[in-house]
Amino acid sequence: MNILRKSILIGFTVLGMAAAHAQETQPAQKPHGAHPHPNREQMQVKMADMYAKRQARLHDLLKLTAQQESAWASYQAAIKPAAFDGQRPERKPMNKLTAPERLNLALDMTKKREAFLETRVKAVTTFYAQLNPAQQTLFDEHGLRGPRGEHGRRGHGQRGGWGHGHHEGWGGPAPRQG
């Protein structure tokens, strides 16, 4: 065999081995139709766990006294998110509703949100009054939305802007006076 044939044979052998190796290292693909996102129940468990961890971290940061523990328990009971019962109301597509029906639906949702916020404001105000000034400062910084008033850390591909939690002057601690 001449040198050219040996070189070609070795080249094809190396290419074949590289191709075989590349095929073996591809990640296993999920079955067709597999959904990459967790289901509703898994998401509820994850969110409840995150909520509990956040509240425990806040409790530890505040270093509450024995007298403040009952106020903390009342505050936690008032702000605890309601569990989803699995039943969703029948929903008509928005484009099939008339303009007055859409506005009434928006008004109903606004009233529900307002009632939720009124309950939350009352709970926060009552608990906040039980804290000393140092604890109030910590609560201002970490209480409602975590450090620096953020909704949380944003990952790759998540956008901010109107409707996504980035409203000028909304959330976070109040500006310092003086």
Tens digits of residue pLDDT in 60-106:
999 999 999 999 999 998 888 776 665 566 666 778 888 998 899 88
Query: Which structural domain range is residue 102 located in?
Result: 41-79+94-146
Nearest to 48 by CA among 83, 98, 99: 83
Q: What is the pLDDT of residue 133?
A: 94
Indicate the average pLDDT of the chain.
Answer: 76
User: Which residue, chain included where needed, has tokens 């604890």?
Assistant: 135
Q: Is residue 169 part of a domain?
A: no
Per-residue pLDDT reduced to its tens digit, 137-174: 999 988 766 554 444 444 444 555 555 554 444 555 55
pTM above 0.75, yes or no: no
Q: What is the pLDDT of residue 6?
A: 76
Q: Is residue 56 part of a domain?
A: yes
Q: Give, in degrees to the nearest 5, the angle at Cα 10 between 6 and 13.
A: 140
Q: Is residue 124 part of a domain?
A: yes
Q: Is 144 exposed, middle or buried (0-12, 13-18, 19+ CB in 10 A)?
A: middle
Q: Is residue 63 part of a domain?
A: yes
Q: Indicate the DSSP class of residue 147.
A: G
Q: Is 149 exposed, middle or buried (0-12, 13-18, 19+ CB in 10 A)?
A: middle
Number of structural domains the chain divides into: 1
Q: Is residue 48 part of a domain?
A: yes
Contact 127, 59 (CB under 8 A): no
Q: Is residue 101 part of a domain?
A: yes
pLDDT band at 18 (very low <50, low <70, confident <90, very high): confident
Q: Indicate the DSSP class of residue 172.
A: S
- Residues of the chain above pLDDT 90, percent: 26
Model confidence at 130: pLDDT above 50: yes
Which is more confidently placed, 25 or 83?
Answer: 83
Q: Is residue 29 part of a domain?
A: no
